[in-house]
Amino acid sequence: MAQTGNTPADNKQTRKKQAGNRRTTPDGRTGLTMRRSLRREAPSTIGLLTDEQDFAAMRRYRTFTFDDHSVYLQQVEGLLKALAAQGVHTTVALFDPEEYAEFCAESGITPDSPASRSRFTAEIAAIGATVAYTGQPLGSLIPLLVDRSVRRATWEYATMLLAGLGECADCGQDIGRAAFDRASHLLLRTLESAGPGTHHLVCSTPTENDQLLAALHTECEAGPAARLDSAEGAEFVTVLAVGIALERRGGVVLRTSAPGTPDRVHGWRLTRGCLVPLTAGEVFSAYCTDADTGEPVSPESGVEYCAGFDIGADEPESHH
């Protein structure tokens, strides 16, 4: 089809647009300059396909134009760098093709559309796990993003289990709420008894369908209460609460580091809703055995394997 020249009306509209861009404010800024300033203040989110399988699932859509995962990752990293150079705050979210297809079906929109992918990315950024881009390479960002996504999925599943337990037939108290309160109390008692230092705790709770794991990293100083990350703290307490409510045989391990002293490792067995201290030998055996093969693992140098201490004093009573 042959191209036609602009009409007088077209030229008039073009001149009005250009004039709008050149129009200045009292301080000398043009409309274009102000829009660029606003762009720097508008955050961006990128939905990332982290592995080959998810990438292959998206290739069935005609509007998804990439055909090589490595090239795709290179282009994403280039976009992240470009946005950062413009001063735009950018977060990265995990893009799951199955969840995307479900989202489009529930929303009544076509999945084969860039606009639909953008809408889904905004949705997962609001409710899912994200990682802020600060210039780190994708090789460092992707494992962190996957870890946060797994942690969030674990928390959501554990929360669902607690919510479905209902009320105690004897006292009418919410079983999940009571277990959560008890788990919160046990965590605070553990940190108070551990004293000053950097603490890393891991809680393991088996369920019918999965082995729930939660980790918490925090620091305690002499006197003030421990500084807890709100997300990690909620995840840890929720997983521990599941073990308490379901009376499953899980466990908690605490590793404490402090300047000038060896790291100390303590452990507890979760039995019938209570944390029972392990002996030093049991802690050593648990820490120095490969969980997959059962083979012995050499103990770390500079680490003391200690018995768990009593953290049950003043513990709220169970109501179920």
Going residue by residue through the chain, which has 320 residues, state the pLDDT in tens, using 9 for 90 and above. Answer: 433 444 444 454 544 444 444 555 455 555 556 555 555 566 799 999 999 999 999 999 999 999 999 999 999 999 999 999 988 999 999 999 999 999 999 999 999 999 999 999 999 988 888 999 999 999 999 999 999 999 999 999 999 999 999 888 777 788 999 999 999 999 988 998 888 899 999 999 988 888 899 999 998 876 555 566 678 889 999 999 999 999 888 899 999 998 889 999 999 999 888 899 999 999 999 888 876 677 888 888 889 999 999 986 554 444 44
d(CA 108, CA 1) in angstroms, rounded, equals: 36
Angle at 222 between CA 221 and CA 226, to 5 degrees: 45
Q: Are residues 193 and 281 in the same domain?
A: yes
Continuous segment of H or E residues that includes residue 288: none
Q: Are residues 189 and 285 in the same domain?
A: yes
d(CA 34, CA 42) in angstroms, rounded, equals: 13
Is the residue at 13 inside a domain? Answer: no
Is the residue at 299 inside a domain? Answer: yes
Helices and strands (H and E) in the chain: how many: 10, 9
296: left (phi over 0), alpha (psi -120 to 50) or beta: beta
Q: Are residues 191 and 296 in the same domain?
A: yes
- Indicate the number of domains in the chain: 2
Q: Are residues 216 and 265 in the same domain?
A: yes
Q: Are residues 135 and 180 in the same domain?
A: no
d(CA 95, CA 74) in angstroms, rounded, equals: 17
Structural domain including 78 reads 43-141
Angle at 29 between CA 26 and CA 33, to 5 degrees: 155
Q: Which of 193, 201, 198, 265 is nearest to 233 (CA)?
A: 201
Q: Are residues 182 and 300 in the same domain?
A: yes
Q: Which of 301, 309, 308, 261 is nearest to 286 (CA)?
A: 308
Is the residue at 159 inside a domain? Answer: no
Is the residue at 154 inside a domain? Answer: no
Is the residue at 290 inside a domain? Answer: yes
Is the residue at 157 inside a domain? Answer: no
> How far, CA to CA in Å, does 73 sit from each of 46, 47, 80?
12, 12, 11
Is the residue at 274 inside a domain? Answer: yes
Q: Are residues 87 and 180 in the same domain?
A: no
Residue 280 token pair: 């030093």
Domain end point (choices 141, 160, 193): 141
Continuous segment of H or E residues that includes residue 135: none
Q: Are residues 198 and 241 in the same domain?
A: yes
Is the residue at 97 inside a domain? Answer: yes
Q: Are residues 219 and 284 in the same domain?
A: yes
Q: Are residues 205 and 100 in the same domain?
A: no
Residue 252 main-chain phi, psi, to 5 deg: -135, 135
Domain end point (choices 94, 125, 141): 141
* pTM of the shown model: 0.74
d(CA 191, CA 189) in angstroms, rounded, equals: 6
Q: Which of 193, 61, 79, 195 is nearest to 133 (CA)?
A: 79
At 55, which amino acid appears? F
Residue 277 main-chain phi, psi, to 5 deg: -60, 140
Q: Are residues 76 and 121 in the same domain?
A: yes
